[in-house]
Amino acid sequence: MHSHGSMPRSKGIPRREALQIGFSGLLGLGLPQLARANPVSRPKSVLLIFLTGASSHLDTFDLKPESPDGIRGEFKPVATSVPGIQVCEHLPLLAQRAHQYALVRSMAHKENNHLVATHHTLTGHPQPGAFFDKVASRDDWPSYAATLNYLHARGDGLPSGVNLPTFLVEGALTWPGQHAGFIGPRHDPWQITQDPARPGFKVDNLSVSQGLTIGRIRDRAGILKSLDLKQKALEQSPAPGRLREQQEMALAMLGSGKLAQAFDLDQEPVASREKYGRHAFGQSILLARRLLQAGVPVVQANMGRVQNWDTHGENFTRLKNSLLPPLDRGVAALLDDLTATGMIEDTLVIVTGEFGRTPKISFQPGANNSQPGRDHWAQCYTALFAGAGVRGGQVIGRSDKIGAYPATIPYTPDDLGATVYHTLGIDPETHVRDRQNRPSQLNRGKVIEPLFNGSHGA
């Protein structure tokens, strides 16, 4: 776990860096650029379903019913479609589909801070200069979609990546790992900031930056007026000359028929929308599937706002009533649809948080004297993988008797990142260059091979 040390705590992204990130949203995030590498062979797509705030592995996919009081949770394990594999009773639909996914129960790292751990998970690399609550900056490592855009840019009017439906920010804290970091704002993924479950959701109402909308961006006069108001700040930007080019590219992308149709959830059959669930979780996963079908190669679906799964208090109540049922329904519908359409062969689905929760149940003061919860625990947790060649119906690795530490080979966010890059057709050892043209190795993890060869990785 990182500490402040002698470094001053940052209160937010410096103005210049905030402008870089902000204008990426304004002008169309993840815009196509010239390729910086040879075309990759047989790349697949990735959908990262991110349980922001970190779910409890002990109460979802790695229950410990034989552990003592104070560690054993309130939920019961239930049998799944695979003999010997059990999951939480509040995941009945996923229990029926255990043959379609693999569980890695020995994920582990050392970063118990949300921001630092989120960066590690969303980029596959430790945050440079990490310390407690280090906010997003252009010194960060690039996200998976950003790297793909940098190495293998598109020319078909589609973004390399889309994040939805929330941007992870809380007050002065902007979660790192959501953008292109040191490779520059031109490679930032698109960011959706509206709930697709709300009536009337469509691309025209997509909020992209500082209160602007896609409808206003389509208004050429409106975009120029907005930029004129910030002319002085733009002059301080490291690359103001690219702005008009990016305007044109953004407008062209917004005119893409495939993209517009993907965002139009009204085209989806009513029965299909109901199957995913008429809530933010379900409709976000449905929208993610539609974007993948349209050709967007990397989609990140945040299950809730920042710290939504951060159950220091009311862990069991929140999981049972508001978190697990919509996740169960949405992911189950996704697996069914990907399987029915054959997309499962070319789409890697990952469900994970930034870490797990403590084996020991904690108690926070509440209306009923105490509300049982679990605290941050990066030393052991579980991630779910499906599709893109993953052999379903298996558990890889195992935790100890109380779910505190891996009892077998541990896998890290670096390894998760290497697996993502492998799926996208990118060599994890590829070198990328920062804004000062300095080379850095993209990733230092290893592909989680047991996912694909069926070994349990013990």
In this structure, are residues 316 and 59 in contact, taking their beta carbons and an 8 Å threshold? yes
Q: Is 44 left (phi over 0), alpha (psi -120 to 50) or beta?
A: beta
Phi/psi at 339 (5° precision): -70, -45
Q: Per the structure block, which two tokens stand in for 236?
A: 């301080």
Q: Regarding predicted confidence, which is higher, 394 or 260?
A: 394
Other Cβ atoms less than 10 A from the Cβ of 28: the count is 24
Q: Per the structure block, which two tokens stand in for 399?
A: 């935790």
Residue 59, CB half-sphere, CA atoms under 13 Å: how many?
Answer: 29
Q: CA 258, 211, 283, 142: dihedral to nearest 10 degrees?
A: 70
What pairing do the DSSP bridges indicate for beta strands 45-50 and 298-302?
parallel
Q: Which amino acid is at 6?
A: S
- Which of 94-103, 186-195, 235-244, 249-258 shows the lowest mean pLDDT across its residues? 235-244
Q: Per the structure block, which two tokens stand in for 200?
A: 């009337």
In this structure, are residues 147 and 425 in contact, taking their beta carbons and an 8 Å threshold? no
CA pair distance 3, 245, nearest whole angstrom: 42
Question: For 338-364, what is the mean pLDDT?
Answer: 96
Q: Per the structure block, which two tokens stand in for 327?
A: 């996740």
7 lies in some domain: no
In this structure, are residues 40 and 425 in contact, taking their beta carbons and an 8 Å threshold? yes
Instruction: Give, for 18, the enclosing helix (H) or strand (E).
Output: helix 15-27
The boundaries of the domain holding residue 293 are: 15-453
Over 50: is that where the pLDDT of 242 sits?
A: no
**Is the model's pTM score more than 0.85?**
no
What pairing do the DSSP bridges indicate for beta strands 394-396 and 102-107?
parallel
What's the confidence (pLDDT) of residue 455?
59
Q: For a pLDDT cut of 90, what percent of the chain falls above it?
A: 68
Instruction: Give, for 120, the enclosing helix (H) or strand (E).
Output: helix 114-123
430 lies in some domain: yes
Report in angstroms the alpha-carbon separations of 49 from 238, 285, 298, 299, 430. Answer: 33, 8, 11, 8, 25
What's the confidence (pLDDT) of residue 370?
72
Over 60: is that where the pLDDT of 374 sits?
A: yes
The number of folded domains in the chain is 1
* Helix residue ranges, H only, 202-323: 214-218, 220-229, 231-235, 243-254, 257-263, 270-276, 280-294, 315-318
8 lies in some domain: no
1 lies in some domain: no
223 lies in some domain: yes
Residues 6+ apart with CB under 8 A from 64: 58, 71, 72, 73, 359, 401, 402, 403
Question: For 423-444, what is the mean pLDDT?
Answer: 93
List pLDDT tens digits, range 44-89.
999 999 999 999 999 999 999 999 999 999 999 999 999 999 999 9
Residues 6+ apart with CB under 8 A from 31: 149, 159, 186, 246, 249, 250, 253
Helical packing angle, 114-123 and 413-423, nearest 10°: 30
List pLDDT tens digits, range 107-159.
999 999 999 999 999 999 999 999 999 999 999 999 999 999 999 988 777 89
List pLDDT tens digits, range 2-52.
333 333 333 334 333 443 333 333 333 332 332 233 333 468 999 999 999
Residue 295's domain is classified under what CATH number? 3.40.720.10
List pLDDT tens digits, range 266-275.
999 999 999 9
5 lies in some domain: no
292 lies in some domain: yes
- Spell 110-124 as b/e; 16+ CB within 10 A means b: ebbbbbbbbbbbbbb
Burial class (CB in 10 A: 0-12, 13-18, 19+), 332: buried
4 lies in some domain: no
